[in-house]
C-alpha cells in the first residue's frame, strides 16, 4: 500500500465532523436561550411591575443561578458539549466556567485550590473586557472631546 492509498483509507474512516450541523445546533440552542431570556424579562415586567432594566438584571441573575446549579449537579457539562457554542456564548458559558473550575479545584484546598483557580477560565473574559472597554472609552474621549 503506498502513501496515497493509505491517506485515502485514513480519510475514509476518520470521524466526519459535520460543521454545518454544528452551526445549526449552536444557532437553535443559542436562539432558544435568547428567547427564554426575553420571556423571563417580559414575565418579570408584568408580574412584578419591574422596569425593563431591572427585569433584565434579574433575568441575568436567574440565568447565572440556573447555569451554576446545573453545573454543580453534574449534567451541564454534557449539555455544553452537545449544544456546541449554543450555551457557550450566552452568559451560561461564563457561569459554567466559574462553577466548574471552582468545583474541580476544591479538593486542592480552599485558598490554593478553589480560591486561586476560581477565575482560571473566566479571568480572560474579565481582563480583555475591561482592557478593551478602557481603550475604547479613551479613544472615544479623544475623538469626541
Partner 1 sequence: MTFIWAFLIAGTFCAIGQMILDNTKLTPGHVTSLFTVLGSILAFFGIYDKLIDLAGGGATSIISNFGYMLYTAALEGYENMGILGVFSEMLTKSSTAIVGSIIFAAIFALIFKPKD
Q: How far apart are CA 9 and CA 127, in angstroms?
A: 46
Query: The C-alpha cell of 3 is what?
Result: 502513501
Residue ranges in 18-47 that form contacts with partner 1 under rule CB under 8 A = 19, 22-41
17, 111, 142, 145: residue in contact with partner 1 (rule CB under 8 A): 17
- Under the binding rule (CB under 8 A), the answer on residue 142 touching partner 1 is no
Contact 29, 87 (CB under 8 A): yes
119 φ, ψ (degrees, to nearest 5):
-100, 25
- Under the binding rule (CB under 8 A), the answer on residue 57 touching partner 1 is yes
Task: Give the nearest distance from C-beta 6 to partner 1 in angstroms.
Answer: 25
Residue ranges in 81-120 that form contacts with partner 1 under rule CB under 8 A = 84-86, 88-91, 93-95, 97-99, 102-104, 106-107, 114, 118
Task: Give the nearest distance from C-beta 58 to partner 1 in angstroms.
Answer: 9
Contact 52, 41 (CB under 8 A): yes
- Under the binding rule (CB under 8 A), the answer on residue 16 touching partner 1 is no
Task: Give the nearest distance from C-beta 99 to partner 1 in angstroms.
Answer: 4
Q: How far apart are CA 21 and CA 12, in angstroms?
A: 20
- Under the binding rule (CB under 8 A), the answer on residue 65 touching partner 1 is yes
Nearest alpha carbon to residue 85 among 29, 17, 19, 16? 29
Amino acid at each position: 500500500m503506498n502513501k496515497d492509498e493509505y491517506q485515502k483509507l485514513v480519510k475514509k474512516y476518520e470521524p466526519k465532523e459535520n460543521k454545518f450541523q454544528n452551526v445549526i445546533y449552536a444557532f437553535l440552542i443559542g436562539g432558544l436561550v435568547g428567547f427564554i431570556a426575553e420571556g423571563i424579562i417580559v414575565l418579570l415586567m408584568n408580574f412584578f411591575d419591574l422596569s425593563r432594566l431591572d427585569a433584565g438584571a434579574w433575568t441575568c441573575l436567574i440565568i447565572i443561578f440556573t447555569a451554576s446549579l446545573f453545573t454543580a449537579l453534574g449534567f451541564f457539562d454534557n449539555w455544553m458539549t452537545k449544544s456546541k457554542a449554543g450555551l457557550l456564548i450566552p452568559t451560561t458559558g461564563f457561569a459554567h466556567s466559574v462553577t466548574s473550575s471552582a468545583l474541580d479545584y476544591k479538593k486542592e484546598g480552599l485558598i490554593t485550590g478553589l480560591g486561586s483557580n476560581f477565575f482560571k477560565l473566566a479571568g480572560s473574559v474579565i481582563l480583555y473586557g475591561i482592557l478593551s472597554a478602557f481603550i475604547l472609552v479613551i479613544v472615544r474621549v479623544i475623538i469626541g472631546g
